[in-house]
Amino acid sequence: MRPSIFISGVTAALLFSRSGAAQSTHPRLTEAQYLTLGKQYTGWFFNGRADSLLAHATPQAQQGSGGVDGILQQRDRLASRAGNETMVLVEKMTWRRGMPQFWHEAMFDHFEEPLVVRWVMDDKGAIIGMGLGPKSSTPAVDSLPPKD
């Protein structure tokens, strides 16, 4: 089992700042490529590989994350409250404000509702934002992906 996550209350925690993240002019990755990256980023987060996450984040996201210590503190705070991940319910791609977002939804043994880890990426797959929290408090996703 992977280490668990949780947040205090029902507030989604934003680790990385989205400000300053601009869309690039080159084509986006495929949905399968984003899905692969999202799974990798989630594994790194649960396994404490903050240095790897930072290496794949935009400069703005690196600055807003609090660095290695900030990411690890967030993970540890969540781990102290949710228990162990007991079942992955969904891993999918969505869109948030026109940007690709990986969605990892799972059940944990010390929390009654699913928790969601979300990675917002730029066109190249770099991390521009991360959200953590109960499914009931996740922000709405875009109804359709943006047109290229």
- Give the rounded percent of residues in the chain with a pLDDT score beyond 90: 64
Residues ≥6 apart with Cβ < 8 Å to 123: 23, 24, 26, 27, 28, 29
Range(s) of the domain holding residue 119: 28-137
Residue 127 lies in a domain: yes
Query: How many Å apart are CA 11 and CA 69, to the nearest integer?
Result: 21
Residue 9 lies in a domain: no
Query: Is 10 within 8 Å of 134 (Cβ atoms)?
Result: yes
Is residue 81 scored above 90 in pLDDT?
Answer: no
Average confidence score pLDDT of the chain: 84
Could you tell me which residue, 1 or 133, shows the higher pLDDT? 133
Structure confidence at residue 142 (pLDDT): 83
Is residue 20 scored above 60 in pLDDT?
Answer: no
Residue 143 lies in a domain: no
Task: Quickly tell me which residue has 């992977």 as its tokens.
Answer: 2
Is residue 89 scored above 70 in pLDDT?
Answer: yes
pTM above 0.75, yes or no: yes
Structure confidence at residue 77 (pLDDT): 82
Question: Which of these ranges, 7-21, 44-58, 66-80, 109-123, has the smallest mean pLDDT?
Answer: 7-21
Structure confidence at residue 25 (pLDDT): 61
What are 12's two structure tokens? 């989604």
H or E element: which one contains 96? strand 85-96
> What's the mean pLDDT in 17-34?
67
Structure confidence at residue 23 (pLDDT): 47
Structure confidence at residue 26 (pLDDT): 66
Is residue 5 scored above 50 in pLDDT?
Answer: no
Number of independent structural domains in the chain: 1
Residue 21 lies in a domain: no
Q: At 106, which CATH number? A: 3.10.450.50
Query: How many Å apart are CA 130 and CA 67, to the nearest integer?
Result: 13
